[in-house]
């Protein structure tokens, strides 16, 4: 799910309008889950040094600060000091089929995530679909999660978003789940430009991956996602938002974070429309 925090509480951000103008290569975002075992402050420094244009934060980035008895302002100040745009902030999952006493707490979690997104100038919050079962008619708009029991394809999610008909909700297109769910690029081709609120990407294992396993994601070009075609379709749709590289993988977490981030940025730019392999990474200029 992608929600625009401004809707219902001020001007809403329209799809694809959360990034600066420019080519896709100037709108690359590093998702913090990609470097999960690296402290947030270092993730921000690595992202800047290795050519990423923005970051995507998770709810757990704030929860870890709470566990250290630090308030949310400590995270907000850390991110602001890094001077990297924030593309999106993750929200708590588990809300889709929730009821009773659980629902108010989960709703408050969404309010928090939207508040953090607004404080950091991000136009979006997101949530994947829940992996369990429930009454689909009670769910809103979702990101297709390829290993879920229900709502595992973009087609399923698209239908629900259409029924919700809410201007603050849109589709999150994820290259990894698009391939692992069996949808393929034909579903992406069929989307109207205004339906795409946000894009995440990583490569999927060539062997198909293990059922239920999603922490096996790879840099573009190392798996079975046809990235040249994927990125070309995203560009053709006129998408003007960030492309967020979300690639959790224990093998990557065991490597130096700067190597992981630089490898992914290079691999991504080599596959973008109009780019040739070996195009290089342009680090952000130092603000010191």
All domains of the chain, ordered by start, with CATH?
A: 2-271 (3.20.20.150)
Q: Which long-range contacts (CB under 8 A, 24 or more apart) does 203-211 make?
A: 203/175, 203/176, 203/227, 203/247, 204/175, 204/176, 204/179, 204/180, 208/180, 209/180, 211/147
Helix-strand-coil split of the chain, %, nearest 5: 40, 10, 50
- The whole-number pLDDT of residue 4 equals 62
pTM: 0.84
Q: Along the 288 residues of the chain, how does pLDDT read in single tens digits? A: 566 664 433 222 333 445 545 799 999 999 999 999 999 999 999 999 999 999 999 999 999 999 999 999 999 999 999 999 999 999 887 777 777 788 788 888 889 999 999 999 998 999 877 665 554 433 332 444 434 434 568 887 888 888 888 888 889 999 999 999 888 899 999 999 999 999 999 999 999 888 878 899 999 999 999 999 999 999 999 999 999 999 999 999 999 999 999 999 999 999 999 865 544 444 454 444
Cα gap 192→194, rounded to integer Å = 6
- The whole-number pLDDT of residue 14 equals 35
21: its two tokens: 């103008």
Residue 146: how many other CB atoms lie within 10 Å: 21
- The whole-number pLDDT of residue 127 equals 82
């Amino acid at each position: 799910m992608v929600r625009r925090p401004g809707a219902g509480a001020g001007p809403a951000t329209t799809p694809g309008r959360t990034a600066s103008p420019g080519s896709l290569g100037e709108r690359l975002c590093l998702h913090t889950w990609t470097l999960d075992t690296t402290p947030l402050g270092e993730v921000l420094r690595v992202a800047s040094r290795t050519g990423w244009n923005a970051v995507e934060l998770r709810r757990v980035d704030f929860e870890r600060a709470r566990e250290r008895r630090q308030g949310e302002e400590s995270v907000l100040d850390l991110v602001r000091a890094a001077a990297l745009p924030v593309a999106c902030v993750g929200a708590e999952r588990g809300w889709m089929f929730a009821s009773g006493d659980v629902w108010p707490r989960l709703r408050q979690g969404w309010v928090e995530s939207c508040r953090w997104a607004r404080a950091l100038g991000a136009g979006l919050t997101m949530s994947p679909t829940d992996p369990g079962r429930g009454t689909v008619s009670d769910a809103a708009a979702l990101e297709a999660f390829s290993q879920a029991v229900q709502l595992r394809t973009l087609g399923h999610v698209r239908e629900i978003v259409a029924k919700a008909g809410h201007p603050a909700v849109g589709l999150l297109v994820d290259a990894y789940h698009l391939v692992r769910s069996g949808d393929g690029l034909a579903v992406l081709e069929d989307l109207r430009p205004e339906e795409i609120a946000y894009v995440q990407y990583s490569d999927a294992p060539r062997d198909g991956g293990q059922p239920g396993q999603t922490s096996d994601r790879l840099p573009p070009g190392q798996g079975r996602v046809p990235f040249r075609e994927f990125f070309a379709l995203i560009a053709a749709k006129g998408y003007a938002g960030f492309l967020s590289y979300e690639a959790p993988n224990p093998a990557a977490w065991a490597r130096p974070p700067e190597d992981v981030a630089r490898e992914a940025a290079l691999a991504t730019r080599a596959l973008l429309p109009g780019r040739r392999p070996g195009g290089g990474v342009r680090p952000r200029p130092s603000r010191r």
